[in-house]
Amino acid sequence: MKKVVIHKAGGYDQLKIETAPDIKPGKNEVVVEVKACGINYADIIVRWGLYESAKQLVGWPITPGFEFSGIVKKVGDVSSVYSVGDKVFGVSLFNSYATEVSVPEHQLFALPNNLTFAQAAGFPAVFMTAYHALLQNVVIRPGMTALIHSAAGGVGSSLVQLCKIKNIKTIGVVGSSHKVEFLEKLGCDYIIDKSSEVLWDHVNEFAPDGCDLVFDANGISTLKESYNHLRSCGKLIAYGAHSMLPKTGGKVNYFKLVWDFIRTPRFNTLDMTSMNKSIVTFNLSFLFDRTDLLDEAMTDLLVWYANGKLQCPTITTYSLKDVADAHRDLESGKTIGKLVLLND
């Protein structure tokens, strides 16, 4: 088998394609011949050596990748619901940037007939992140308004769709004008292009009483104002800190990272209590043991997809050997939807 291996933190040159022995499944595991694997911003943070679950659970060397699709190649000793030749997709705790991956069978799902391998590989991480952020952390009430940063990205566009299903008014924020049309097609109620518009002035215009929900993966660049623009009983859902990290060059500026860390807002629980505002944070890779949450999310998501209530993100594909180009493009912040690696 072939796989992408990172031996130490660094730039694109640390993404090495290496040959490894074929995988033998554990007794409750299934080995999948990977046809496609999804790329997430978390994979880039893994490459920089900054992703906490990668450091705690794996260390170096590491093969990144949280999601994949393909064909069942082998099953473990215990009777499995899957058979050799079945088309599947699923989630993994790393290791998906490869031609083979082995996972517990509860992390696999049958590939729907109307999903391609590329679409399926880009489906789980973004929709499950959006589902957990919105539907496993929030009590939804009529008339809610949600502000969604990076709304044209994989998670952002998934949040827009889930909010529409739940009749939540959406304010989507994008960083460049070429992303506006994409959000319009998703039915986003209000769109703010912060490259040419004053972000918070427009938030005040679209949500004069404040936002019930703000979804923010930017970190320091917007976190404080995101919190300030919550209405009473509003929730800030924070799940990243992209603005602390580089968009070009592929390497971390540690001086900027430390400075941004020092300047990151700290929220006092006494102040939060008196203002009736709260903050929710999470890292999905630390939730792989919560099979109840995983099953709930994927069950609902696949039903909504089958009913036409969800559409897959726009997919841009790369060959596995071009993984460095894919990382470079995702870091730039100019992409729309999901990037996916294909095994030729």
B/e letters for 121-144, b = 16+ CB within 10 Å, e = fewer, are bbbbbbbbbbbbbbbbebeeeeeb
Q: Where are the alpha helices (DSSP H) in the chain?
A: 41-47, 52-57, 117-121, 124-135, 154-165, 180-186, 199-206, 223-228, 254-263, 269-275, 291-306, 323-332
Q: Are 60 and 8 in contact (CB under 8 A)?
A: yes
Nearest to 124 by CA among 149, 88, 169: 88
Report the mean per-residue pLDDT for the chain.
Answer: 94
pLDDT confidence of 130, banded at 50, 70, 90?
A: very high
Which of 3.20.20.150, 1.10.760.10, 3.40.50.720, 1.10.150.20 would CATH assign to domain 138-281?
A: 3.40.50.720
Which of 3.20.20.70, 3.40.35.10, 1.10.3720.10, 3.90.180.10 would CATH assign to domain 2-123+314-342?
A: 3.90.180.10
Cα gap 95→101, rounded to integer Å: 6
- Using the structure block, give the residue that is written with the tokens 């997430």: 40
pLDDT confidence of 290, banded at 50, 70, 90?
A: confident
Residue 302, amino acid: L
pLDDT confidence of 80, banded at 50, 70, 90?
A: confident
Average pLDDT over residues 112-132: 95
In the chain, CATH 3.40.50.720 sits at 138-281
Q: What is the DSSP code (8-state) at residue 153? A: B
For the cut 80, the answer to whether the pLDDT of residue 78 exceeds it is: no
Whole-number pLDDT of residue 93: 93
With a pLDDT cut of 70, the percent of the chain lying above it is 100
For the cut 80, the answer to whether the pLDDT of residue 123 exceeds it is: yes
Could you tell me the two tokens for 286? 């630390």
pLDDT in tens, 213-262: 999 999 999 999 999 999 999 999 999 888 888 888 899 999 999 999 99
Average pLDDT over residues 278-287: 89
In the chain, CATH 3.90.180.10 sits at 2-123+314-342
State the DSSP string of 193-221.
ETTTS-HHHHHHHH-TT-EEEEEE-S-TT
Whole-number pLDDT of residue 79: 66
Average pLDDT over residues 259-286: 91
For the cut 90, the answer to whether the pLDDT of residue 288 exceeds it is: no
Whole-number pLDDT of residue 194: 95
For the cut 80, the answer to whether the pLDDT of residue 301 exceeds it is: yes
Alpha-carbon 236 to chain mean position? 17
Average pLDDT over residues 133-161: 96
**Least confident interval from 29-38, 235-244, 288-297:** 288-297
Whole-number pLDDT of residue 289: 82
Whole-number pLDDT of residue 244: 87
pLDDT in tens, 186-209: 999 999 999 999 999 999 999 999
Whole-number pLDDT of residue 285: 85
Cα gap 301→44, rounded to integer Å: 26
